[in-house]
Amino acid sequence: MRRWGHFVYRRRKAVLAASLVCFVLSIIGLLTGGQPINAGNYDVESVRAANLEGRQLPSTTGSSFTLILTSAQSTFGQPAFETAVDAAVAPLRHDSRVSALATPYTASPTTVPLMVSTNRHSVLVQVGVKLDFAEARSQYGDIRGEVRSSSLSISATGNVPLAYDFDTYLASDLRRSEVVSLPLALILLVIVFTTGVAALLCLGVGVFGCSAASARRSRSPTQSTSRPMRSTWSRSWGSASPSTIHCSS
């Protein structure tokens, strides 16, 4: 520590400049850090079961989610309702990421009753994408933003919207906690080291290291144990859990 103290004192300008650079880089990394991810490379029972399912059961590439479109005035079967539904999902037909789009108006007659609510004010639209689950959850916000309507309320359900919401709220909570903890850490370091230079140096190096690790984790390829929902919708929709509904617009 004595040698380190002499080294810092003799090169105090360079140390101060280095600490300021690290602090600026840490702020940049904090604002543009990595995306939260759910890793699936742990040796736990759920991951082993998911890997076994993928090897033994037939599956299709890509992911999917479901849209629920509801009208308070018109019902399924009326031309106005069909026009509103087609207009709302029309941008998805031109999106290269979308591989399939199933509505009650394009589905087979045997499937239509499963896609229409009992009061006929709501319908389901199944959206398939050409992305794996990790890419789908990161790009879901852009895809969901294409679906708009002035006469319909639109909700989304499925593993992809749920994972996207988890990532969004987790990232927001992490940024909020970091904004609160950084000033407190700086005050504590100033009290411990009694100098602002040493406090900024420790704080900058620490935050920069955490931000770099977060960015490196976001670039690492991972697997997700989640699977696109493979469920048959009951006509009454009474079995749907409220926790699976994404958001309304």
Give mean pLDDT, residues 193-214: 58
User: Could you tell me the two tokens for 167?
Assistant: 């990532």
User: What value does the mean pLDDT of the chain take?
Assistant: 74
- Tokens in use for 142? 């852009």
Instruction: Look at residue 235 in the predicted model and tell me its pLDDT.
Output: 38
- Residues paired with residue 64 on neighbouring β-strands, in sequence order: 128
pTM tops 0.75: no
Cα gap 247→161, rounded to integer Å: 9
Question: Contact 226/166 with Cβ under 8 angstroms?
Answer: no
The DSSP line for 180-230 is HHHHHHHHHHHHHHSSHHHHHHHHHHHHHHHHHHHHHHHHS----------
Nearest to 224 by CA among 97, 33, 34, 54: 54
Alpha helical stretches, state H, 76-132:
79-93
pLDDT class of 225 with cuts at 50, 70, 90:
very low
Per-residue pLDDT tens over the stretch 19-37: 777 777 766 766 665 555 5
Strand 153-157 relative to strand 63-70: parallel, antiparallel, unpaired?
A: antiparallel
Range of lowest pLDDT (80-89, 105-114, 128-137, 234-243): 234-243
45 sits in which H/E element: helix 45-56
115 or 224: which leads in pLDDT: 115
Q: What is the pLDDT of residues 42-71, one digit of tens each?
A: 677 877 777 776 677 655 556 889 999 999
Please give the structure tokens belonging to residue 127: 């959206």
87 vs 81: CA distance, rounded Å: 10
Predicted confidence band at 112 (pLDDT cuts at 50, 70, 90)? very high
Closest listed residue to residue 71, CA positions, set 151, 149, 146, 148: 151
pLDDT for the residue 230: 37
Tokens in use for 201? 């140096």
The per-residue pLDDT for 217 is 42
Decide which of 42 and 221 is more confident: 42
pLDDT band at 143 (very low <50, low <70, confident <90, very high): very high
